[in-house]
């Protein structure tokens, strides 16, 4: 195929879109691949659509290779199945809900566990039909709180979702492993540097789950790694609780005035000056900080939770959101303090907290707050703290919550060494769902003994449109996009650079030869200056460009490699054959 740039529906833009924070967003818009239609909602233009189709093709091939079969559900779905699993409510404001002319409730599918479960229930009834794996590549809708970075986090996006159906746990494990292998193959073919990390299952429920993250500084996910091979999304890191400590030698708690101690550091200085410990100085990690949040359940029910954690750490909002999902987390504002006078801002202590206390506020503590630990904390009176308050002796929290920030150098939970932190873009997520959906929707089959058993399921997603952005993110530079061969909208771009008719003629012939050899050729036949053509070629990001310029008179053309920036000369005579070899490697 030859595509003439003069006819191609594309306009490269000189300026960044005003809302572009990341490179992929900037370049996909400037290179004319995508166009914003509404916040988090994008149109695909010819170039973008070609790349999207290539990502889809990779995903399709790898899913077919593990024996998964393609189907396609509607995006517009009835309420009832989502009611049966409670996700109509649980999805909260993220779900696009709508109503038809008869008053029936519908939704735009954010993910399709319910529909797949019901489809299999409709048609299958025996263990002999299993295992089964089905997938679709389809448009999903989520009213994301923070759509961002163009198609990286859209409100409409393309996902490959697949589902496995097995008679028993061993079958599920095997299906899960097959998907894991397929995902590794997909990530490799996309050319992305990636990590597989433990994940939380969030609104999906179920147990084992892993995420595939493309390593990228601009990613929204933080993950940790240890030298010994532990890898987890920071949301899924669990801090092992230390053993309880002996508190027999610790005296009774004392209330002490602590004026002018607005920060943890000033508080530590003050208690070290006025009330020194006999064994060692007080440290920030000896202070028990109590942070209050409002939780809003998907049905709108609000509650207050106080989280107690060592004062040298903050609550990690994303870990908190993951821990309390599907509830939404809101900051506790001054007006909330005003409405809850038992909570003295800056001086909140365990004695005012707990479901059985006067405040009734749920009190959850960090796993490090084990029985016997000795704390400096708020005394529930302005300007006063309490020292030697011992967990398990002087206060008993309602439970444990593991949401403190994870820091560089913290020990890995499995003892495999210190953790290092990095950021990534979530590309895929694989879950062992288990029987949650099958139970809710009654998917049972007869086993080999003629007994009805509930099917066990897995659910697996790849962000197909997100992958276009993630690859652009990983590979673009200050001059534009830069596609790997497998995803590029064209194999080669031919750039006649000069007004000479011989150049145009040579370029035409070369384009025909390469096209005849099966390559997808973009021919820049525009009447534009060489400078404009070169700049556009770099913005568009086709991996190989052939410049047909002044050298033609001396019998040479130039080959430019977009990825390495290398330029080399080729004999004009027989250039097609040399290029065919080059493009095939
Ligand atoms: P995230 O944590 O990024 O919100 P998620 O955990 O909600 O994602 P899943 O429900 O696991 O996502 O969806 C499967 C895949 O779909 C994700 O791994 C991601 O690649 C992609 N995806 C999810 N939400 C979006 C979105 N808003 N825009 C583009 N791709 C998305
Ligand atoms: Mg996920």
CA of 463 to the centre of ligand 1 (A): 6
Same domain, yes or no: 35 and 63: yes
Same domain, yes or no: 95 and 161: yes
Helix/strand/coil (H, E, C) string of 224-292? EECCCCCEEEHHHCCCCCCCCCCCCCCCCCEEEECCCCCCHHHHHHHHHHHCCCCCCCCCHHHEEEEEE
Closest CA to ligand 1's atom 12: 429
Instruction: Measure the CA–CA gap between 345 and 192, rounded to whole angstroms.
Output: 47
Same domain, yes or no: 457 and 533: no
Closest CA to ligand 1's atom 26: 153
Q: Which of 198, 195, 160, 199 is nearest to 179 (CA)?
A: 160
Same domain, yes or no: 450 and 308: no
CA of 421 to the centre of ligand 1 (A): 21
Kindly tell me the burial class for residue 479, based on how many C-beta atoms sit within 10 Å of its own C-beta (0-12, 13-18, 19 or more).
middle
- Asked if residue 245 is part of any domain, the answer here is no
More confident residue, 200 or 178: 178
- Asked if residue 6 is part of any domain, the answer here is no
Q: What is the CATH number of the domain that holds 497?
A: 3.40.50.800
Closest CA to ligand 1's atom 1: 426
CA of 162 to the centre of ligand 2 (A): 14
How much is the pLDDT for 326? Answer: 85
List Cβ neighbours of 142 (8 Å cut-off, separation of 6 or more). Answer: 94, 95, 96, 110, 155, 157
Strand ranges, E, within 382-519: 384-390, 399-400, 420-434, 444-446, 452-454, 456-463, 492-496
12, 539 Cβ separation under 8 angstroms:
yes
Instruction: Measure the CA–CA gap between 61 and 190, rounded to whole angstroms.
Output: 13
Please give the tally of structural domains in the chain.
3
Q: How far is CA 192 from CA 58, 233, 375, 427, 573, in A?
A: 13, 18, 47, 10, 37
- Asked if residue 481 is part of any domain, the answer here is no
Tens digit of pLDDT for each residue in 551-564? 999 999 999 999 99
Task: Determine if residue 508 is left, alpha or beta; phi over 0 gives left, psi from -120 to 50 gives alpha, anything else beta.
Answer: alpha
| 69 pLDDT above the threshold of 70 | yes
Q: Which ligand is nearest to the CA of 199?
A: 2
How much is the pLDDT for 181? Answer: 98
| 161 pLDDT above the threshold of 70 | yes
Ligand 1 pocket test, candidate residues 234, 466, 469, most atoms within 8 A of CB: 466
CA of 434 to the centre of ligand 2 (A): 16
Q: Which of 73-77, 310-314, 354-358, 481-485 has the lowest mean pLDDT?
A: 354-358
Same domain, yes or no: 347 and 203: no
Closest CA to ligand 1's atom 16: 463
Q: Which two tokens stand for residue 360?
A: 């009734």
- Which atom of ligand 1 is nearest to 202's Cα? 6
Q: What is the mean pLDDT of residues 523-537?
A: 96
How much is the pLDDT for 428? Answer: 97
Same domain, yes or no: 442 and 379: no
Same domain, yes or no: 441 and 359: no
Q: Which ligand is nearest to the CA of 462?
A: 1
Tens digit of pLDDT for each residue in 259-294? 888 899 999 999 999 999 888 999 999 999 999 999
Tens digit of pLDDT for each residue in 381-391? 999 999 999 99
Closest CA to ligand 1's atom 11: 429
Residues with CB under 6 A from ligand 1: 111, 142, 144, 153-154, 157, 159, 202, 426-429, 461, 463, 465-466
CA of 426 to the centre of ligand 1 (A): 7
DSSP for 376-401, please give it. EEEEEETTEEEEEEEBTTTB--SEE-
- Asked if residue 55 is part of any domain, the answer here is yes
Q: What is the CATH number of the domain that holds 91?
A: 3.30.930.10
Same domain, yes or no: 551 and 449: no
**CB half-sphere exposure, 332, CA atoms < 13 A:** 23
Kindly tell me the burial class for residue 60, based on how many C-beta atoms sit within 10 Å of its own C-beta (0-12, 13-18, 19 or more).
middle
Tens digit of pLDDT for each residue in 486-527? 999 999 999 999 989 999 999 999 999 999 999 999 999 999
Same domain, yes or no: 296 and 213: no
Instruction: Measure the CA–CA gap between 468 and 445, rounded to whole angstroms.
Output: 40
Instruction: Measure the CA–CA gap between 584 and 447, rounded to whole angstroms.
Output: 51
How much is the pLDDT for 145? Answer: 87
- Asked if residue 576 is part of any domain, the answer here is yes
Instruction: Count the neighbouring beta carbons within 10 Å of the beta carbon of residue 171.
Output: 18
pTM for the model? 0.90
Same domain, yes or no: 180 and 295: no
- Asked if residue 563 is part of any domain, the answer here is yes
58, 186 Cβ separation under 8 angstroms:
yes
User: What b-and-e string marks burial along 290-323, b requiring 16 or more CB atoms within 10 Å of the CB?
Assistant: bbbbbbbebeeeeebbbbbbbbbbebbebbbbbb
Q: How far is CA 171 from CA 127, 168, 210, 396, 408, in A?
A: 11, 5, 18, 43, 38
Q: Residue 256: which pLDDT band, with cuts at 50, 70 and 90? A: very high
Closest CA to ligand 1's atom 25: 153
Instruction: Measure the CA–CA gap between 195 and 542, rounded to whole angstroms.
Output: 27
Find the domain containing 294 and state its range.
254-400
Q: What is the mean pLDDT of residues 9-24?
A: 90
Instruction: Measure the CA–CA gap between 242 and 368, rounded to whole angstroms.
Output: 6
Same domain, yes or no: 64 and 160: yes
Element of type H or E holding 302: strand 302-310
List Cβ neighbours of 391 (8 Å cut-off, separation of 6 or more). Answer: 365, 369, 370, 371, 372, 373, 375, 397
Q: What is the CATH number of the domain that holds 335?
A: 3.90.960.10
Same domain, yes or no: 200 and 274: no
Kindly tell me the burial class for residue 580, based on how many C-beta atoms sit within 10 Å of its own C-beta (0-12, 13-18, 19 or more).
middle
**CB half-sphere exposure, 446, CA atoms < 13 A:** 6
- Asked if residue 244 is part of any domain, the answer here is no
Task: Determine if residue 144 is left, alpha or beta; phi over 0 gives left, psi from -120 to 50 gives alpha, anything else beta.
Answer: beta
| 371 pLDDT above the threshold of 70 | yes
- Asked if residue 413 is part of any domain, the answer here is no
| 205 pLDDT above the threshold of 80 | no
How much is the pLDDT for 201? Answer: 66
């Amino acid at each position: 195929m030859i595509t003439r740039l003069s006819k191609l529906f594309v306009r490269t833009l000189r300026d960044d879109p005003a809302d572009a924070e990341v490179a992929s967003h900037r370049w996909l818009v400037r290179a004319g691949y995508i166009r914003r239609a509404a916040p988090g909602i994008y149109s695909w233009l010819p170039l973008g659509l070609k790349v999207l189709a290539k990502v889809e093709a990779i995903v399709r091939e790898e899913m077919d290779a593990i024996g998964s079969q393609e189907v396609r559900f509607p995006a517009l779905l009835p309420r009832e199945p989502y009611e049966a699993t409670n996700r109509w409510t649980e999805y909260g404001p993220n779900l696009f809900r709508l109503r038809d002319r008869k008053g029936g409730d519908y939704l735009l599918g954010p993910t399709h566990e319910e529909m797949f479960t019901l489809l299999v229930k409709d048609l299958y009834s025996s263990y002999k039909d299993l295992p089964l794996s089905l997938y679709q590549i389809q448009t999903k809708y989520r009213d994301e709180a923070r759509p961002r970075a163009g198609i990286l986090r859209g409100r409409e996006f393309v996902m490959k979702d697949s589902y496995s159906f097995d008679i028993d746990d061993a079958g599920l494990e095997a299906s899960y492993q097959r998907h894991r292998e397929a995902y590794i193959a997909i990530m490799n073919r996309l050319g992305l540097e990636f990590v597989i990390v433990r994940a939380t299952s969030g609104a999906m429920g179920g147990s084992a789950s892993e995420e595939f993250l493309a390593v990228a500084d601009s990613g929204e996910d933080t993950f940790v790694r240890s030298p010994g091979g532990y890898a987890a999304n920071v949301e899924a890191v669990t801090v092992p609780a230390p053993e309880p400590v002996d508190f027999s030698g610790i005296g009774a708690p004392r209330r002490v005035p602590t004026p002018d101690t607005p920060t943890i550091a000033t508080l530590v200085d003050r208690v070290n000056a006025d009330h020194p410990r006999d064994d060692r100085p007080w440290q920030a990690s000896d202070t028990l900080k109590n942070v209050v949040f409002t939780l809003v359940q998907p049905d709108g029910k609000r509650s207050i939770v106080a989280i107690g954690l060592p004062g040298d750490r903050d609550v990690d909002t994303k870990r908190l959101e993951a821990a309390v999902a599907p509830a939404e987390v809101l900051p506790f504002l001054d007006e909330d303090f005003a409405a809850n006078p038992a909570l003295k801002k800056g001086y909140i202590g365990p004695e005012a907290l707990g479901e059985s206390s006067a405040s009734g506020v749920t009190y959850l503590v960090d796993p490090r707050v084990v029985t016997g630990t000795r704390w400096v904390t708020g005394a529930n009176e302005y300007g006063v703290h309490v020292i030697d308050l011992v967990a398990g002796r002087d206060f008993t929290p309602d439970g444990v919550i593991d949401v403190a920030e994870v820091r560089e150098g913290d020990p890995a939970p499995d003892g495999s060494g210190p953790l290092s932190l990095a950021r990534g873009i979530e590309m895929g997520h694989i879950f062992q769902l288990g029987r949650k959906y099958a139970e809710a929707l009654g998917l049972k089959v007869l086993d080999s003994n003629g007994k009805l058993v509930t099917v066990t399921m897995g659910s697996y997603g790849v962000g197909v449109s997100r992958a276009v952005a993630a690859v652009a993110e990983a590979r673009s530079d200050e001059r534009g996009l830069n596609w790997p061969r497998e995803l590029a909208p064209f194999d080669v771009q031919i750039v006649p650079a000069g007004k000479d008719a011989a150049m145009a003629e040579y370029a035409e012939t070369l384009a025909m030869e390469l096209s005849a050899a099966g390559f997808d050729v973009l021919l820049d036949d525009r009447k534009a200056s060489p400078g404009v053509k070169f700049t556009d070629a770099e913005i568009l990001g086709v991996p190989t460009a052939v410049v047909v310029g002044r050298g033609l008179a001396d019998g040479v053309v130039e080959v430019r490699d977009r990825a390495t920036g290398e330029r080399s000369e080729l004999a004009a005579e027989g250039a097609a054959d040399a290029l065919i070899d080059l493009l095939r490697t």
